[in-house]
Amino acid sequence: MSQVLELSDVTVRRGGTEILSHVSWQVSRGQRWVIMGANGAGKTTLMQVCSGYMHPTSGQASILGYQVGKTDMRELRTLVGISSAAVAALLPASETVFDSVQTAAYGITGRWRERYDEVDRSRAHELISAWGLLTLANRRIGNLSEGERKRVSIARALMCDPELLILDEPAAGLDVGGREDLVARLAILAGDQASPSLVLVTHHVEEIPPNFTHALLIKSGQICAMGEVPEVISSEPMSQAFDMPLVVEYSDGRWYAQGKSPSRGRRAKD
Ligand SMILES: Nc1ncnc2c1ncn2[C@@H]1O[C@H](COP(=O)(O)OP(=O)(O)O)[C@@H](O)[C@H]1O
Ligand SMILES: [Mg+2]
């Protein structure tokens, strides 16, 4: 197979608006990408194209060698794992954590009468354990904290053993403890050679886990920078992407950003 993702001049128009404009981007096997951009920049739309849920208005998108629009996208559903607010909202509140993860083996939400074999049960158990959910296995989804629900959604996305895992803002709404826990788990996932190729959407550089290799910045539906993390997650491209002067710093495996004070050329206090 060629690339994990291959987008060539992809444009998406909705209601007369161009949400993505001429996006060309490639993801190779094993790469770990961070996608950043302001609210409304087009990140979620880009992820919908990359998971086969949205067709480009023009241009071409291939996912794991399958061309979007020319393939039965159901085939792709088990090869691409996706965790997003929209997917998490589909999880039935009355279902247990264990069942929520296990049902992903069939690409469904909500248990019905499907039968699971030992392989499914042991994989669900392994993922629940890896994502710190073992003590919550019998808890109902409706009774989980935001951070716990996010971890269920990621474990679910991994259940099919996908070749590509897309995480759309997994740290949104978490407190600092929940965020740090998630970043540490994502760093382990990204550092594991056996993990799928990863694409992580985030708003904050503080949420970029160690071991991520590449970054793409998007602004008003257009790519404004892409490449290896240290080149892209730096003051100049980030200032351009977020339309304000930013100082981006790196320390001990993590990134930090602050607004630059225009008066003194130093960092603002808040
Ligand atoms: N179906 C749609 N019709 C019209 N505009 C849309 C539609 N979906 C998204 N948009 C608009 O496209 C822009 C990009 O949205 P989105 O991809 O969700 O951005 P992000 O995830 O970066 O915040 C936003 O301005 C949003 O309002
Ligand atoms: Mg979004």
Q: Which ligand is nearest to the CA of 84?
A: 2
Are 253 and 269 within 8 A, CB to CB? Answer: no
CA distance 75 to 245: 44
Residues with CB under 6 Å of ligand 1 are: 14-15, 17, 19, 37, 39-45
Question: HSE (CB half, 13 Å, CA atoms) of 128?
Answer: 22
- Phi, psi for 218 (deg, rounded to 5): -125, 140
**Strand boundaries in 15-56, DSSP class E:** 17-27, 32-36
Instruction: Give 10-residue mean pLDDT values along the chain (270 residues).
Output: 90 95 97 97 96 94 91 81 87 93 73 70 94 96 91 93 95 90 95 96 95 98 98 97 96 93 55
pLDDT at 108: 56
CA distance 270 to 260: 10
pLDDT at 206: 95
The fold for domain 5-234 equals: Rossmann fold (3.40.50)
Strands 222-228 and 246-251: unpaired
Q: What is the per-residue DSSP string for 185-215?
A: HHHHHHH-TTSPEEEEEES-GGG--TT--EE
pLDDT tens-place string over residues 96-116: 999 999 988 766 555 555 666
Question: HSE (CB half, 13 Å, CA atoms) of 126?
Answer: 10
Distance from residue 42's CA to the centre of ligand 1 (Å): 6
pLDDT at 201: 98
Residues 6 or more apart whose Cβ sits within 8 Å of residue 44: 84, 168, 201
pLDDT tens-place string over residues 5-63: 999 999 999 988 999 999 999 999 999 999 999 999 999 999 999 999 899 999 999 99
Tokens in use for 240?
A: 């351009």
Are 80 and 87 within 8 A, CB to CB? Answer: no
pLDDT at 166: 97
pLDDT at 85: 86
pLDDT at 263: 61
CA distance 39 to 269: 23
CA distance 119 to 116: 8
Q: What are the residue boundaries of the structural domains of the chain, listed by start?
A: 5-234
Distance from residue 257's CA to the centre of ligand 1 (Å): 25
Ligand 1 atom 1 nearest Cα:
14
Distance from residue 69's CA to the centre of ligand 1 (Å): 21
Distance from residue 253's CA to the centre of ligand 1 (Å): 32
The structure's pTM equals 0.92
